[in-house]
């Protein structure tokens, strides 16, 4: 599986009906749209998939739909990290039983954890499931950061195969790569603006929220890079800057989901209370979508 954890993996959004229940038909449509767009993996209930606000039963529902609809075309990643170690083990085992290919495990949140506690948490989970595990570092959301030294230690555990870094700190990504280079360890950017630079530094790609809006363009960053077309990769990387500038208007997850809805897909809004954008934000997204469409960015 290690060789398949690469490229552009989409943290696919979770379409919802007006009553905030899961919209299965729309989810299946988005999965097919992403795969046709060339993505290299589908990652349900990540941050862009609103995993933070879905119940465990809803996560199981979404994962089962994704596995069924993907039908082996690309790997399916399941975000199974919860606050408690025993709860993370339970959900990870359930995801493995359902057929997830890779488990993405976010750091515990709310309570401050020492590096030794984080190491013990991930080691216990890894010893409890027979699936590849991707660490997920996003300290701005969880309050806990995986240091490069801890990632180096964890990389020696056989089924901990990689890390997604959403810290926004490129030096942190560099240190992850430098410290794990001898362990066949996979480093992915969780910040869409750093995908090309991560690839240039020796990383394997990115888990890209913007792929929900522009799948072909995001895939082009990776495919052009692999083909040696750095100019093309840079063009695709730079193309998303105007859209990312819209993140100033609200939660990035809400901006992404609003943009997909404005493209004509019935994905609904984010679950309350994280569903508000000001009128000026919606107008800005519409303008950016129109401008990028004229440039052929899709």
Active site members: 136, 164
The pair phi, psi for residue 280, each rounded to 5°, is -65, -30
Nearest to 77 by CA among 131, 14, 21: 131
Measured in whole angstroms, how far is the alpha carbon of residue 213 from the centre of its chain? 13
For residues 186 and 152, is the Cβ–Cβ distance under 8 A? Answer: no
Provide CB contacts within 8 A for 169, sequence distance 6+.
none
Measured distance CA(223)–CA(233) in Å, rounded:
8
Look at residues 105, 195, 89 and name the one whose alpha carbon lies nearest to residue 144: 105
Burial bucket for residue 289 (CB in 10 Å: 0-12, 13-18, 19+): buried
According to DSSP, the residues that pair with 187 across neighbouring strands are: 163
CA distances to 109, 250, 253, 271 from 274, in Å: 18, 9, 9, 6
Find residue 254's DSSP bridge partners.
none
Q: Measuring CA to CA, how many Å separate 243 from each of 106, 137, 172, 248?
A: 26, 24, 25, 10
**C-alpha Rg value of the chain to the nearest Å:** 18
């Amino acid at each position: 599986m290690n060789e398949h954890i690469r490229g552009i993996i989409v943290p696919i959004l979770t379409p919802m009906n007006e009553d905030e229940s899961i919209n299965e038909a729309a989810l299946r449509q988005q999965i097919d749209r992403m795969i046709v767009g060339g993505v290299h993996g589908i990652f349900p209930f990540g941050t862009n998939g609103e995993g933070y606000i879905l119940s465990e039963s809803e996560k199981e529902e979404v994962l089962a739909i994704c596995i069924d609809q993907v039908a082996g075309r690309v790997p399916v990643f399941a975000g199974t990290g919860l606050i408690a170690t025993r709860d993370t083990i339970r959900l990870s085992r359930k995801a493995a039983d359902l057929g997830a290919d890779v488990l993405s495990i976010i750091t515990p949140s709310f309570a401050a954890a020492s590096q030794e506690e984080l190491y013990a948490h991930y080691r216990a989970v890894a010893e409890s499931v027979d699936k590849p595990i991707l660490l997920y570092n996003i300290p701005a959301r969880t309050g806990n950061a995986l240091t490069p030294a801890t990632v180096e230690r964890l990389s020696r555990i056989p089924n901990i195969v990689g890390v997604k870094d959403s810290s926004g700190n490129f030096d942190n990504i560099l240190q992850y790569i430098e410290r794990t280079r001898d362990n066949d360890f996979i480093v992915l950017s969780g910040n869409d603006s750093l995908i090309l630079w991560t690839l240039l530094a020796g990383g394997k790609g990115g888990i890209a929220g913007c792929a929900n809006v522009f799948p072909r363009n995001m895939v082009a960053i990776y495919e052009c890079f692999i083909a040696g077309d750095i100019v093309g990769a840079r063009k695709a990387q730079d193309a998303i800057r105007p859209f990312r500038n819209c993140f100033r208007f609200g939660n990035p997850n809400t901006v992404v989901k609003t943009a997909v809805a404005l493209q004509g897909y019935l994905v609904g809004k984010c679950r309350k209370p994280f569903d508000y954008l000001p009128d000026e934000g919606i107008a800005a997204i519409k303008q950016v979508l129109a401008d990028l469409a004229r440039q052929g960015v899709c």
